[in-house]
Structure 1
Amino acid sequence: MDSAQSAPDEADRVYEMAAELFGLMATPLRLKIISALCRCEKTVGELVSELGSSQPNVSQHLAHLYRAGILARRREGVQIFYRVQNERAVALCRAVCTQIAIEIEDPAALAPEQRLLAPRH
């Protein structure tokens, strides 16, 4: 295979993997879970209480994040504790969410070309 053919294949793979990560993070509850676990590990029950969602719903999203390698878990008796495992994915989430929060709080703070969000009319 020549280098001209492999470069588009590699670029396609990068875009596919990025889209997969963005798809995984495209659920508000998953972003909330990641945020809740940034400082310390928590049990499913603690996350349910903190996030105000049902236990089955939180567990389903935790399972997706665990299978994707974003979170790790450990069992202690009957409790399952979750923690962040992939700091890079968390840093990406934090960067995007922080940028959006800035844009919402003070829309005039950034020039239009610096914004992630289109202006709302």
Structure 2
Amino acid sequence: MLKVDMDTKMKFLSGFSNKIRVQILECIKDDEKTVSQIVNELNGNQSNISQHLACLKGCGLVVSRQEGKYVYYRVRNQLVRDLLTMIDVVLEDVKKDVECCERHIE
């Protein structure tokens, strides 16, 4: 089993700890998109989306490439896409417990 430093693991998981970041990940899970495309799809604002993309990029979940004046963002690789799918699979199994959880700490 791989041994990962707990602080590093927590930094990585912080990418999933915000609703907008998860929405962004879902938005670009299958196709790369520009910030403008993500903003339009999520009905967000450019500044906020850009800040969250920077966090996701810093956590290693998202990569970008520049083409002319546009920057395209995509989920890093198939492993991250698989992780997003696995989160949905696990959540389906524990959904009722999560919905009833009163110990959720923000």
TM range (shorter): 0.7 to 0.9
Counterpart selection for 1:18 from 9, 23, 39:
9
Counterpart selection for 1:77 from 20, 44, 68:
68
Shift of the 90–18 alpha-carbon distance from structure 1 to 2, 3 Å rule, reads farther
Q: Percent identity?
A: 26
**Aligned Cα RMSD in Å?**
2.6
- Which structure has the larger Rg over C-alpha atoms? 1
* Larger CA deviation: 22-31 vs 81-90: 81-90
Separation (CA, whole Å) in 2 of partners of 1:18 and 1:60: 21
Greater RCO (Cα-Cα under 8 Å, separation 6 or more): 2
Q: Secondary structure at the match of 2:71?
A: strand
Counterpart selection for 2:41 from 26, 46, 50:
50
Task: Structure 2 unaligned segments of length 5 or more: list them.
Answer: none
1:119 deviates by 3.0
Shift of the 41–118 alpha-carbon distance from structure 1 to 2, 3 Å rule, reads closer
1:44 deviates by 0.6
Shift of the 63–120 alpha-carbon distance from structure 1 to 2, 3 Å rule, reads closer
Q: Secondary structure at the match of 1:53?
A: coil
Separation (CA, whole Å) in 2 of partners of 1:33 and 1:70: 11
Task: Structure 1 unaligned segments of length 5 or more: list them.
Answer: 1-9, 108-114
For these two proteins, the number of residue pairs brought into alignment is: 101
